[in-house]
Structure 1
Amino acid sequence: MAEKRFLSSPFGQEESGVICPSLTRRGLLVGAMGASVAAVLPPGARAAGFSAPEILPLERQDYADARRRFHTHLLRKMPAPEKSAALGTPPGAERVTYRGGPDGSIELVAWLSHYQPSKVERPAVLFLHGGNATGDGHWALMKPYWEAGFVVLLPSFRGENGQNGNYSGFYDETADALAAATYLENLPGIDKKRFFIAGHSNGGTLTLLAAMSRKFRAAAPMSAGVNSWRYFNRYSDEICFDETDEREFIMRSSVCFGPSLKCPALLLRGDEERPFDADHQLFVDRALSSGFKVDKKLLPGTHNGVVPGAVAESIRFFNEFA
């Protein structure tokens, strides 16, 4: 008999559901549309040894400059905290590799939509998946992009699916996302003036951090975490850095660097994820001083169920810049 329990999203939104007791987190990733991007961690997370500041710091220095000066201190060397099988090649994708990280020292797998380069350049979307592993279900959600004429690249990150590299909890993964962006924009036939970034959940978090590190034409983070204290307080088993150093949390929190945003952005979220209104509003308020248009929008759905609608909304948003 199926067991009734709660599925927890990375940022605290809980969904009641009935799932098979033997269904693994990986199984959720490669399942149906709504569950394909679920990010469910095993029970038993330890209590966090830190507390979030009452007022989230506002950093005046540019995030890209701060990244050049900061190096995360990993106290634990670990793979991405999600068991998963080696990556294959889902239908509609071409398996490619890119050199991850700031120094290009890690070869990582990415999935690229099929396209034929031509003299007419194509718009492109770098999409950053949710959870801490890459699954075929993530790729299935990309279909509307290529049907709308976008070239899509969905990268995996360090330590995922048996690949090399140490999980860092968003920081070095941002370097991977930026390396994947460089790979995509330099493919033949890509229009660099219509080069976009989007992502869901953990990928939404990385989308904002990447969009403060370099310029995209526009960004559409979905169910993004902007406050790393909130995330790691809930998922303390994922803390691999020095949690006594507040700077480690600041460098993983886009809300602390709102003025560093380098392109227009639309923050998308399900209307059942309302506990995070304050964090998102604070990010929007701070990011407005970047000089770019920043907005947020609620769509019908839960943390995972909102994804198809958010993808469609991101396409409408990106087409404003065509």
Structure 2
Amino acid sequence: MPEVMFAGPDGRLEGRYHHAKRPNAPVALLLHPHPLHGGTMNNRVIHSLFTRYQEMGFSVLRFNFRGVGKSQGRYDGGIGEISDAAAALDFLQAVNPAASMLWVAGYSFGAYVGMQLLMRRPEMGGFICISPPASHYDFGFLAPCPCGGLMVHGEDDELVPVSSVGKLVEKLNTQKGVSIDYRTIAGAGHVYTPEQVENVTNMAQDHVQTIMGGSRMALAAD
């Protein structure tokens, strides 16, 4: 899990990167929660996903948005952070030119940024959206959504009502060719307990394996 520094639009960005042995391994980009509310790449949901993607044979990157940790720059209201995510994807693609598939996974604010990135980079093939802040941001830009993916939300989320995410999923599922795998976690709030994090990670793995069409061992050919 080597530390990496790569060029961002407002200075260098700090990340942790695992490189899979297979040259055509799929890749995943992980995006952390809101920088002004304690979000970093070391968030336990993001860290757990990083480990699980690694176990599944992916090349995977998690990084700090501008102004977080060693990343240069300052918070930019989401606009600059979308550019940071694009720079991170550029880094991933540069070191994985033969990647078989590109995934983005985000938690909370990171889920919003991830979906914005999805609209800007048509080469993305799948997404994991955890606790998307559907009551705080307008997700109307997903018209049309370029691909299907997984959305996970806590049924007792005190910041983002589960009903707002349900409405978003319902709207996306009306789009031609788009299928959202929507799963809720009973008793979970916006911040997940360690046991709930494991549940989220298992859901993500199950979805990825279903889409990739292979078992965990088949994916993890390292």
Shorter-chain TM band: 0.7 to 0.9
Q: 1:227 to 1:210 in 2, by over 3 A?
A: farther
Q: How much does 1:320 deviate?
A: 2.2
Q: How much does 1:157 deviate?
A: 0.8
Aligned residue identity for 1:211: L
Once residues 151 and 135 of structure 1 are traced to their aligned partners in structure 2, the CA distance between those partners, rounded to angstroms, is 16
Once residues 75 and 176 of structure 2 are traced to their aligned partners in structure 1, the CA distance between those partners, rounded to angstroms, is 30
Aligned to 1:211: 118
Once residues 307 and 261 of structure 1 are traced to their aligned partners in structure 2, the CA distance between those partners, rounded to angstroms, is 27
Contact 1:194 1:321 in 2 (8 A): no
Aligned residue identity for 2:142: G
Contact 1:173 1:206 in 2 (8 A): yes
Aligned residue identity for 1:106: G
Q: 1:290 to 1:211 in 2, by over 3 A?
A: farther
Matches within 5 A, 1:162-181: 163-181=71-89
Task: Structure 1: state its 5+ residue gaps.
Answer: 1-92, 229-251
Aligned length: 200
Aligned to 1:278: 163
Contact 2:2 2:18 in 1 (8 A): yes
Q: 1:276 to 1:295 in 2, by over 3 A?
A: farther
Q: How much does 1:117 deviate?
A: 4.8
Q: 1:110 to 1:219 in 2, by over 3 A?
A: same
Identity of aligned residues (%): 22
Q: How much does 1:137 deviate?
A: 4.7
Once residues 290 and 183 of structure 1 are traced to their aligned partners in structure 2, the CA distance between those partners, rounded to angstroms, is 32
Q: How much does 1:155 deviate?
A: 1.6
Aligned to 1:292: 178
TM-score normalised to the size of structure 1?
0.56
Once residues 161 and 11 of structure 2 are traced to their aligned partners in structure 1, the CA distance between those partners, rounded to angstroms, is 34
Task: Structure 2: state its 5+ residue gaps.
Answer: 213-222
Aligned to 1:108: 13
User: Which of 187, 190, 211 is equivalent to 1:321?
Assistant: 211
Aligned residue identity for 2:204: S
Once residues 122 and 162 of structure 1 are traced to their aligned partners in structure 2, the CA distance between those partners, rounded to angstroms, is 28
**Residues 126-175 of structure 1 deviation map (CA, whole Å, 9 limit, x = unaligned):** 11112414254546412122112122100211111253223122222111
Q: CA RMSD in A?
A: 2.4
Q: How much does 1:299 deviate?
A: 2.3
Once residues 123 and 110 of structure 1 are traced to their aligned partners in structure 2, the CA distance between those partners, rounded to angstroms, is 18
Q: 1:307 to 1:224 in 2, by over 3 A?
A: farther
Once residues 97 and 58 of structure 2 are traced to their aligned partners in structure 1, the CA distance between those partners, rounded to angstroms, is 11
Segments of 4+ in structure 1 off by > 4 A?
none
Q: 1:127 to 1:162 in 2, by over 3 A?
A: closer
Contact 1:128 1:154 in 2 (8 A): yes
Aligned to 2:32: 129
Q: How much does 1:290 deviate?
A: 5.7
